[in-house]
Chains A and B, each alone.
Chain A
Amino acid sequence: MKLRETTRISLSALLANRSRTALTMLGLIIGVAAVIMLVSIGNGVRKFVMNEFESLGSNLIIIQPGKSDRRSHFAPPIALSNNRMTLEDIRAIERRSININAVSGVVIGNAVISHLDAAHNAMVFGANEQFLKIITLDIKYGGYFSREEDDFGRRVAVIGKKVADSLFGDDYAVGRVIGVNEHRYRVIGILGATGHKVGLDVDNLILVPTRAALRLFNTDRLFGIRATARTRSSVDDAVAEISDILRERNNGEDDFTVITQGALMASIENILSMLTYVLGGIAAISMLVGGIGIMNIMFVTVTERIAEIGLRRAVGATKRDIVGQFLLEAVMLSVLGGCVGVGLASGVGWGVSSFFKRFDLTPPWWIIAPAFGTSLLIGVIFGVLPAIRAARIEPLEALRHE
């Protein structure tokens, strides 16, 4: 009965001073909500990036010309690099690497695509016949080009949905001839609606054989190389092989950058954790401030209730009973604040997520236990001093107090 009665009395004391209780909890509410939102944002970004790269396959290896800062893993713009990557490099990798499953050079550029009177700006993406093994693309109608077509640089194209819609509308486009700048290409395949994939608007893409793209842009220089390792565990070996081959072909110079999903994830993880530490520190300070607010108000409460404390002691409450009562009250304040904080963060997370569908900011369910535990701990830590002061009040001193 003691616990139930004490809980009831603490609750009624908190309810008797509603606005004071709410203001006291505010610090902790903000602190808890901030921590949870941080975790949610970190989680959301991680999930977003994961999704983006998972769809590419975890075995993906991206090679760009130009050396980059080792730590950031992001290559400088291709124009700044003197390194030339050519189809010879692709052939060499194909011949000598045993850990890769597929490799393709890529060429990227813009072109005007036309059909009869209709014209459309699209991105031309040159790649070889293995490219579908590297990045999964859904070919809805027709097919993809063959090795032979790539070798000879035949003018065939697989076009994105947006391109097809704008040039042909509802007509069946496979087999039709389109203009790509001044050249004439035959459509052999149409992609299903895909959306964005690693920054490329796949729907507004036209895929052509590598050699055809090189000819189109009048260059022998590749934008970069894409490859996949045979298995997830052979990614590192494949990277080492490719690096050796490219280095050897480039007079021993390391003038290229290799990006893998693992390395990319690691660098994103790095940025995220740095962010989490800094903002987490700020959030921790706000929780601390919340805790001090609770301590302050508990000291006030103890002073206000000296007569009550004296009476309780007179009718048989021990010091421990008094400590328990005030500690419970502080913990109720902090846990209630924590719960409101969790609710607030969840609400904001849900709101944001329902606006930006691709970005999931809902707090992970496991956050509830630590949020609850931390709030409880703060209540205990910052409630213990006022509770001890309450217990130190002698019953007589309190009964004379009026």
Chain B
Amino acid sequence: MALIETQALCKTFTRGEETIHALRSVSLSVETGEFISIIGPSGSGKSTLMYILGLLDKPSSGAYLLGGARVDNLTDIERAKVRNKRIGFVFQGFHLLPREDSLRNVMLPLVYSPGISSQVARDTAEGCLRRVGLQDRMNHRPNELSGGQRQRVAIARALVNNPSIVFADEPTGNLDSKTGAGILSLFQELHTSGVTIVLVTHDPQIAARAERRIRVQDGVASEES
């Protein structure tokens, strides 16, 4: 059974008179443990697709099964719970809380997981920071970290709830190529250790690091070999 399975996903945005078809019938599947990339030019609908797969947005039509169960018709509260338990996000702009140190930032998803004691949360977060190589930056705030380190904190945060899948939207977009390469190696390592990764990028070279590529063009997705 596929971890992710979509059938004819459509997404339209209406802006006054005009209707934008951001996704036109996307059907794809992702297996557990895969490292796939979604590639396509700017405005093609990559982020839109990722947001729907990450339950941050709802499709206009079509079906979405996560772990074999329909998730496109869940309530707000159920969607929040799925995001919390099963999905990790890494964004281009890091999205860290500026006043909190690395440890607190990584612990954030656990705050919304009922029944986790702060000691367990702290230990888990420390483990994740170690996993991304930031064991000596636990008590630094984002403005005391380099861009690459910030993105590592964000990756540790995505891993903290031991999710089924991690979505990364242009995770190297704000980094220079050398730092970006380090982040990509980290994703590679995580993939090797069994994490399912969906990486969104417009850069073919980066996309080439994944074992499978899905090309999105004008809202239509196709497998690329």
Contact = CB atoms under 8 A, between A and B. Distances in A.
B111 interface: yes
A399 B54 CA distance: 13
Nearest to A319: B76
B109 A315 contact: yes
B155 to A, nearest CB: 13
A312 B95 CA distance: 10
Contacts of B83: 314-316
A9 B85 CA distance: 22
B111 A1 contact: yes
B108 A1 contact: no
Given A2-B114, A307-B95, A399 B56 contact: yes
A395 B52 CA distance: 12
Contacts of B57: 396
B70 interface: no
Contacts of A321: 112
B208 interface: no
A16 B80 contact: no
Given A1-B110, A2-B114, A396-B56, A316 B121 contact: no
A315 B81 CA distance: 9
A5 B119 CA distance: 12
A311 interface: yes
Interface string A1-45: 110111001001100100000000000000000000000000000
B56 A2 contact: no
A316 B77 contact: no
Contacts of A318: 76-77, 80, 112
A385 to B, nearest CB: 20
A16 B100 CA distance: 12
A313 interface: yes
B97 A308 contact: yes
Nearest to B91: A399
A2 B80 contact: no
Nearest to B117: A1
Contacts of B110: 1
Contacts of B89: 314-315
B130 interface: no
B7 interface: no
A315 B112 contact: yes
A315 B118 contact: no
A270 B38 CA distance: 80
Nearest to A321: B112
A402 interface: yes
Contacts of A311: 95, 97, 108
A302 to B, nearest CB: 15
Nearest to A314: B89
A317 B56 contact: no
Contact of A312 (B56, B108, B114, B117): B108
Of residues A6, A314, A317, A399, which shows the largest number of chain B Cβ atoms within 10 Å of its Cβ?
A314
A122 to B, nearest CB: 75
A402 B93 contact: yes
A5 to B, nearest CB: 5
Interface in B91-136: 91, 93, 95, 97, 99-100, 107-114, 116-118, 121
Nearest to A305: B97
A314 B56 contact: yes
B61 to A, nearest CB: 18
B44 interface: no
Contact of A315 (B84, B114, B116): B84
B118 A1 contact: yes
Interface of B: 51, 54, 56-57, 76-77, 80-81, 83-85, 89, 91, 93, 95, 97, 99-100, 107-114, 116-118, 121, 157, 161
Given A314-B83, A318-B76, A396-B51, 20 more contacts: A1-B110, A1-B118, A2-B114, A5-B111, A5-B118, A6-B111, A311-B108, A314-B56, A314-B95, A315-B84, A315-B112, A315-B157, A316-B80, A316-B85, A317-B80, A320-B77, A321-B112, A396-B56, A396-B57, A399-B95
Interface of A: 1-2, 4-6, 9, 12-13, 16, 307-308, 310-321, 395-396, 399, 402
25 contacts: A1-B116, A1-B117, A1-B121, A2-B111, A4-B118, A5-B118, A9-B100, A13-B99, A308-B97, A310-B95, A311-B95, A311-B108, A314-B56, A314-B83, A315-B84, A315-B157, A316-B83, A316-B84, A316-B85, A317-B80, A317-B112, A318-B77, A318-B112, A396-B51, A399-B91
